[in-house]
Amino acid sequence: MTALTRAAAAEWLKLRTLRSTWWFLGGALALMLLVAMLDASDTAAALRAQGGAAGSVDAAAPAMSALPWARVVLGALGLLVMTSEFATRSIMVTLACTPSRTRLLLAKACVVVAAVFAAGVVLAALTVAASAPLLGEYVDLDAGVLGGQLLTMGAHLALVAALALGLGALVRRSAGALTVLFVLLLVLPLVLQEAADPLGAEFLVTAADFTPGPAADRFMAGESVFGLVLAGWAVVAVAAGAWALRARDA
């Protein structure tokens, strides 16, 4: 067993034994179920009123509409994997066990990405199972397409959690890291889009598409290149977090 594997095993033990982890997962599932089921009911009612065609709505559509809510919750989980250790000063014990700070953050990143990916696929599958029947005759259920969509939803949530982990290592405070994550996901793209017209700078609209929130949305819409954009943000955040861990005292 390599040093990285041992560090990852320790991080996985910590993650799965914390009650907060399960609260976050339960909260993400509750939000996804609520939003997706309401969306499916409203969509079915609108299609009935308009005389919509049978099989016109993708089975995963309601779950995808609910995904931004889970994105914020599981992003918070990702950053707390790092910030909670600074808050409780347990980071001192962690660094005593894993002196290499880069290895420590890589181990945390591997565990967070794997755990959130697996959890995200399960949460998405449960949400589809609960919301798709509410679409009635309007649901279009293709098992092959649905399987790919579930994997994409899991990957999307895992990359956002990795981005949040890197921010947690960089900022070190839960409130500050959550604020930065919120700005990157929601505020920054809106500011760029709104500034485009007054400044006569249409390139800002394009730039907004490459911020984490819109990139995640376009990745979910089937544009795989934006999955690479989101992965790039996650890699940069983790690299910045690793630099901060090495440059600053714990």
pLDDT of residue 250: 63
180: nearest Cα among 107, 75, 109: 75
Identify the pLDDT of residue 228: 96
| Helix (H) or strand (E) segment spanning residue 241 | helix 225-247
Amino acid sitting at position 52? G
Instruction: Mention every residue, 6+ apart, whose C-beta is less than 8 A from residue 46.
Output: 52
Q: Which helix (H) or strand (E) holds 244?
A: helix 225-247
DSSP state at residue 90? T
Termini Cα distance of the chain = 27
pTM summary value: 0.93
Instruction: Please tell me the distance from the alpha carbon of residue 177 to that of residue 170, in angstroms, as a whole number.
Output: 8
**CA gap 36, 33 in Å, rounded:** 5
CA distance 47 to 110: 43
Per-residue pLDDT of the chain (250 residues; tens, 9 = 90+): 688 999 999 999 999 999 999 999 999 999 999 999 999 999 999 888 888 788 788 899 999 999 999 999 999 999 999 999 999 889 998 888 888 999 999 999 999 999 999 999 999 999 999 999 999 888 888 888 899 999 999 999 999 999 999 999 999 999 999 999 999 999 999 999 888 878 777 888 889 999 999 999 999 988 999 999 999 999 999 999 999 998 887 6
Residue 193, CA distances (Å) to 79, 175, 186, 211, 227 in order? 27, 26, 11, 11, 21
What phi and psi, each to the nearest 5 degrees, are found at residue 223? -90, 95
pLDDT score of 3: 86
CA 81/CA 76 separation, integer angstroms: 9
Q: What is the dihedral of CA 121, 220, 34, 187, to 10 degrees?
A: 120
CB 33 within 8 A of CB 127: yes
Classify 150 in phi/psi space as left (phi over 0), alpha (psi -120 to 50) or beta. alpha
Helix or strand holding residue 140 (H, E): strand 139-140
Report the alpha-carbon distance of residue 222 to residue 177 in Å, rounded.
29
